[in-house]
Amino acid sequence: MTLPPAQQKELERAVALLESPRFAIRLANIAGKPLDSILGAVPGLNGALHGVLRNAILRCLTVAIESQDAEAFAPSSWRPKTLTGLSGGIGGMFGALALPVELPFTMTLMLRAIADIARHNGEDLRALEPRLACLQVFALGDRKSDAGAAVSYYAARTTLIKLTGDVMASLVERTALDASAPVVTRLVTEVVSRFGLVLSERAAAGAIPLLGALGGATLNVMFMDHFERVAQAHFTLRWLERVYGSEVIAELYRVAAGGAGVRSLPALSG
């Protein structure tokens, strides 16, 4: 099957966004330093950030589940990025000590921006599943550009759909989030494991002199921009899947990404 020219262009744009250089590479290019300079800037950073990141993901998950009205996902074209930059600037003055406060606030703002992109691509955010699909974006932002990238994207989504489905099933008779529930723990752990690399890259970049001089505000705006790119691609693909079917779009994605040797992709149900 082939798509109409306009839809094919949207598909190719989504592929380009997902297959573009990772966040760390973009930072390294700006700093004029190799990738390992960023990843090695703060040894053991992932372990130090794990608890902070878990709390931030839980807060975003709570917002996504408990926002039964439209207020938490109200459209705002400028406010999330502006406030994210301000929070990064303020947090930059206090360094790592500010992260437990700054990161949950920043990620909640990012969730709002992601929701705006979802709405623009036809998602009905009055329903829980699209709101949880917004949270999934945080787990799709560590993509590597390699021969198996197309499979990795759809494999990640298949895992996330299963985990979010389990969370939705556990909420049939409740609207409040039980952070200790096994289904919630599994989902949060999956997001943390994928999001942690990008977060460590962002935090480690602060140790690089040039990027440090640019300030926490610039890093946060770049951080926001990175996940807005991922969200735009993610929700474009979801829109195309609603129109043409998930298996068709997955195969066309593979072809557009040039994933030679990839024979099949998992079908998606959400």
Contact (Cβ atoms closer than 8 angstroms) between residue 248 and residue 67: no
pTM here is 0.80
The pLDDT, as a whole number, for residue 97 is 54
Tell me the residue type at 239.
Answer: W
Average pLDDT per block of 10 residues along the chain, 270 residues long: 91 87 67 60 62 87 72 51 56 55 80 88 90 92 53 82 92 74 91 81 64 63 84 96 94 78 48
A 10 A CB-CB count for 101 gives 14
What distance in Å separates the CA atoms of residue 80 and residue 8, rounded to the nearest whole number? Answer: 30
Does residue 59 contact residue 108 with C-beta atoms inside 8 Å? yes
Structure tokens at 236: 């474009």
Find the length of the chain. Answer: 270
User: What was the pLDDT predicted at 10?
Assistant: 95
CA 39 to chain centroid, in Å, comes to 19
Q: What is the pLDDT of residue 103?
A: 78
Report CA 49 to chain centroid distance, whole Å. 17
Q: What SS3 string covers the chain?
A: CCCCHHHHHHHHHHHHHHHCCCHHHHHHHHHCCCHHHHHCCCCCHHHHHHHHHHHHHHHHHHHHHHCCCCHHHCCCCCHHHHHHHHHHHHHHHHHHHHHHHHHHHHHHHHHHHHHHHHHHCCCCCCCHHHHHHHHHHHHCCCCCCCCCHHHHHHHHHHHHHHHHHHHHHHCCCCCCCCCCCHHHHHHHHHHHHHHHHHHHHHHHHCCCHHHHHHCHHHHHHHHHHHHHHHHHHHHHHHHHHHHHCHHHHHHHHHHHHCCCCCCCCCCCCC
Distance CA(115)–CA(119), nearest Å, equals 6
- The predicted pLDDT at position 154 comes to 85
Residues 18 and 245: their CA atoms lie apart, in Å, by 20
Q: Which two tokens stand for residue 178?
A: 């039980």
Question: pLDDT tens digits for 182-237?
Answer: 999 999 999 988 887 777 777 666 655 555 555 666 777 778 888 888 999 999 99
Report the C-alpha gap between 13 and 18 in whole angstroms.
Answer: 9
Who's near 68: CB < 8 A, 6+ residues apart? 175
